[in-house]
Amino acid sequence: MSTNPHHLLGAYVLGGLDAADLDLFDAHLQDCAGCRKELAVLEKVPMLLDSLPVPDAVALTSVPGGSEANEASVPARLFDELAHRRRTLRRRWAALAGALAAACLAVGLAVGPLLVRAPPPDATYSLASGGGLQVNIDMARKTWGTELAVSGSSLPAEGTLSLWVRDRAGGEDRACAWTATPSGKVKVTGATPIQLGSISSVELRDGAQHAVAVITVP
């Protein structure tokens, strides 16, 4: 059982944790915004792996530049986990390591056929005001909570904006924050440990923590 839950992210993405470490990391995600945001990016990697035929993945592990060139494209924590598991189950994980490197190279080179289309959101909410402000939020249900994809226009053009999620028990969590853009437009992704079914509202706040927009979730 690991004593440092931050190091479990790679195995968690790959589905390689035992029951004890899985419980430990699930509890860790509730309090670690950094791991939640990194997980929101890395959780698409298994889908990329599934899209690659094993023979093609094995062939791609021998591209010019060797393993160092491939490993440089892979998120460090995830590749470290693959390297550890490959030492103990070399034959089983050799193709998977190549597939992971190939998938990340494909993303970097924008190779369309290797990409997997993102699933549709579980819920979408929009708000428009008379002053032209528009906010759209796509919510995706995750095992660790909820991912929120935010897009907006005619937002405040100065200061720091933040998105807060309130649950039905009255608690709240900051899903993300960003520096306002001069154009008033934004497209960001946030994460919260609050499950989608427990969200009662989402609130956009300005730098003074005044509510700019409030979306009520039925």
Per-residue pLDDT of the chain in tens (218 residues, 90 and over written 9) = 556 777 777 777 767 677 777 788 788 888 888 888 877 777 666 555 555 454 554 444 444 444 444 433 444 545 555 445 545 545 554 555 555 555 555 445 444 454 556 678 999 999 887 778 899 999 999 999 999 999 999 999 999 999 999 999 999 999 999 999 999 999 999 999 999 999 999 999 998 999 989 999 98
Please give the pLDDT value at position 187.
92
Please give the pLDDT value at position 27.
83
Please give the pLDDT value at position 25.
77
Residue of 105, 80, 97 whose CA lies nearest to 6: 80
Please give the pLDDT value at position 53.
53
Please give the pLDDT value at position 68.
45
Please give the pLDDT value at position 2.
52
Q: Where exactly are the structural domains of the chain?
A: 5-114, 123-216
Please give the pLDDT value at position 190.
93
Please give the pLDDT value at position 67.
44
Please give the pLDDT value at position 46.
58
Q: Which CATH architecture has domain 123-216?
A: Sandwich (2.60)
Residue 18 structure tokens: 């035992």
